[in-house]
Structure 1
């Protein structure tokens, strides 16, 4: 999956597979994780918010099935 670099102290890049609704996040210190069932709107909002870490904590973390991929 192709990821886009983002400006964040915790998150290095974010990618999205629209067909399968999978959000992929590369963290600087934790590796790469995929979140299953994430809507396109959630992904698009994630890219535009000022604080990626705060958005992740409030909207994504512990809300979706997650798997570590790297």
Structure 2
């Protein structure tokens, strides 16, 4: 999945796959996680959020299934 770099203290890049509604997050630690069944509207809000880390913690981390992929 292609990811775009973002300005964040703990997130390096974000990617999203529309057909599978999969969000991919690369953290500054080097870990990569995929979050599943994330609606396009949430992806759009995350990418536009002034604090991507806060948005991820508030609306995605405990709301969608995920797995570590890297």
Q: Same fold (TM over 0.5)?
A: yes
How many pairs align?
A: 70
Root-mean-square deviation (CA), in Å?
0.8
More strand by share: 1
Cα deviations across residues 5-55 of structure 1 (Å, max 9, x unaligned)?
A: 000000000000000000000001150000000001100111111001110
- Gaps of at least 5 residues in structure 2 are none
- Gaps of at least 5 residues in structure 1 are none
CA distance in 2, matches of 1:28, 1:62: 20
2:64 match:
64
Q: 4+ residue runs of structure 1 moved beyond 2 angstroms?
A: none
CA distance in 1, matches of 2:23, 2:13: 11
